[in-house]
Structure 1
Amino acid sequence: MMKRLLPFLLLLVLPALARAADFSGLSPPEGPLLVTEVVDGDTLRLEDGRQVRLVGLQAPKLPLGRSGFKEWPFAKESKQALEQLTLGKKVSLRYGGRQTDRYGRALAHLFLEDGSWVQGKMLRRGMARVYSFRDNRALVRDMQAIERDAREARRGMWALSYYAIKHHLEAGRFTDSFQIVEGVVRDVASVRGRVFINFGDDWRTDFTLVVEGKARRLFLDSDIKLSHLPGKKIHVRGWLKYYNGPMIQLTHPEQVQIVGSAPD
């Protein structure tokens, strides 16, 4: 009996999770405006000609005319999901940070006429993951909570190993890509204005996080205290580069989530 009721109960609970997000920090609504085209799983076009990038999301990428670009797994399904949600419907735009990117696209949170938050719906279905920036941090923690639920339920893209959380010891295999990496912080060191967060004994080869001066100030005002990280198990997201081993540069606290402590 309970198994038969579970899907129904989830339908009741999941919308409530979306409503729990606090939208009061966003700008007043702009619109509604008709969605005339969906470009991919995180970008669409409005009736006034503007393109909108769903701020806070990264959907699996399509080539979109880029020569030699290999389509990411689940990209078509993500686009189709956004089409199903928005194409031919009216949406309102609300901003929580920088309003346009270097390509002139609006960086907005989108809401359907019934008040539904489009970002939340895409994340809940496992059609995108959270992708935040220093100058657009509104609602990131809310989005990460929805993403976590989808990941734990293996919905959408989270059923694929391609998007699995990577252990810090294997991070070197995934440089030049955006990843979520898991590991226990070994130590934190400050060197000439930079903070280095180390996950192994050899900082020259092991996975490391780097925090520059401006970003360091953001951490001072956040719930993520860098000096308290040793011994903590964390998830960190960002673009993996190679600098004395695999590394991610931290520009804002929301890239880091504390998920536990090192086992005894």
Structure 2
Amino acid sequence: MYLSIKIITINAMTKLIPALIFLLGLTNSIAAFSADEETCQIDTNKLLWTKAEYAITGDTIVINNQRVRLAGIYAPQIEKKQKWHTPGEPLAKESQTFLNKLLANNDLEVGVEFDKTRLDNRNRQLAHLFFKDGTSIQQKMLESGYAIGRTTYGNLKHAKCYYQAEQKARDGGYQLWDFLAKNPDRHFPLAESTTLTSEDEGYRIIRGKVVKVDKSSSNYIINMDTTGIRVQKKYWDNFDYNKLEALDGQTIEVRGYAYLYKGAMYMLIENPYAINLFNPLNQ
């Protein structure tokens, strides 16, 4: 079910129309528009405009009582103490606060742009969000250092812009990158494969030397010393296996959800951008 929003602006040549728009059953004729899918530039007249309510994390906003996930980024998650306890991640509250301040400073007005996939596996909306002046919210979160890039569900719009924004924060040592420099033992947002422990499950970047590249009937296999990277068969069309083989012996960074299985750490990836040598900054 798509969230219901109002259009604030339809066209610079017409009067503002109090509208009823309907992400519910939104047709392909109102497809998302991007002036250049390798940058964050956007024609704001083509966006769907609405009022946000508040951010519940640094990458999730409530709009019209529905959760909207900011496509293309990952922000540290706030501790959850419900039945299934989720530990909090560094600077999670600060990331949430920063996003709420961005929204407040822009009167909570956001422009919505969709990508290839509009719902994640938890039925949350996935969207690229902008302010009235054309500023990308994702870009601001990444440049601030309160989020890191993430490519999932085939949503590739603005990927180059997002990875550039993350690199800017990384080069400047902002927020999460400053935290990592001062607390390397916390392994967030990046960890060396050789230093991983059973406590390091969750989304992060893992850096290590590739010691084996192989394939089975169900997976492409990229092994570091302590970490197994897997590409499931359903995602093989996204990858060039010859390029994967060329990774053998190289030190790479891979980003995704790390999980412990039979005493070893694994990570499933679905897009080549998860590997730093294949992301848009290196193409």
TM-score, normalisation: structure 1: 0.77
Q: Percent identity?
A: 24
AA matched with 1:147: E
- Which residue of structure 2 lines up, in the alignment, with residue 217 of structure 1? 237
CA distance in 2: counterparts of 1:41 and 1:194, whole angstroms: 33
Match of 2:101 among 84, 107, 111: 84
- Which residue of structure 1 lines up, in the alignment, with residue 5 of structure 2? none
Match of 1:190 among 215, 218, 222: 215
- Which residue of structure 2 lines up, in the alignment, with residue 10 of structure 1? none
Aligned: 1:42 with 2:62: no
| Unpaired segments ≥5 residues, structure 2 | 1-35, 279-283
Query: Following superposition of structure 1 onto structure 2, how do residues 1-264 of structure 1 map, counting pairs within 5 Å?
Result: 21-23=38-40, 29-46=46-63, 48-63=64-79, 66=82, 68-87=85-104, 88-160=107-179, 161=183, 162=186, 163-200=188-225, 206-220=226-240, 225-243=243-261, 245-258=264-277
CA distance in 2: counterparts of 1:90 and 1:193, whole angstroms: 45
Instruction: Give the Å deviation of 1:100.
Output: 2.2
Change (3 A) 1:158 1:23: closer
Which secondary structure does the structure 1 equivalent of 2:277 belong to? Answer: strand
8 Å contact 1:174–1:240 — kept in the other structure?
no
Change (3 A) 1:152 1:107: same
Which secondary structure does the structure 2 equivalent of 1:225 belong to? Answer: helix
| 1:23-81 residue CA offsets vs partner (Å, 9 max, x unmatched) | 589998442212222222111123x4333211122212123663544332211211111
Change (3 A) 1:124 1:243: same
Instruction: Give the Å deviation of 1:105.
Output: 2.8
Moved over 6 A (4+): 24-28
CA distance in 1: counterparts of 2:70 and 2:270, whole angstroms: 20
Change (3 A) 1:25 1:38: closer
TM-score, normalisation: structure 2: 0.72
Which secondary structure does the structure 1 equivalent of 2:53 belong to? Answer: strand
AA matched with 1:198: N
Change (3 A) 1:34 1:86: same
Change (3 A) 1:51 1:199: closer
AA matched with 2:196: A
Instruction: Give the Å deviation of 1:257.
Output: 0.8
AA matched with 2:159: V
| 1:200-257 residue CA offsets vs partner (Å, 9 max, x unmatched) | 3xxxxx3221222122221029xx9212111322110111123462221222111111
AA matched with 1:226: L
Which secondary structure does the structure 1 equivalent of 2:135 belong to? Answer: coil
Structure with greater strand percent: 1
8 Å contact 1:215–1:251 — kept in the other structure?
yes
AA matched with 1:85: L
CA distance in 2: counterparts of 1:25 and 1:183, whole angstroms: 37
Change (3 A) 1:190 1:104: closer
| 1:118-145 residue CA offsets vs partner (Å, 9 max, x unmatched) | 0000100011112331332333343122
| Unpaired segments ≥5 residues, structure 1 | 1-18, 201-205, 260-264
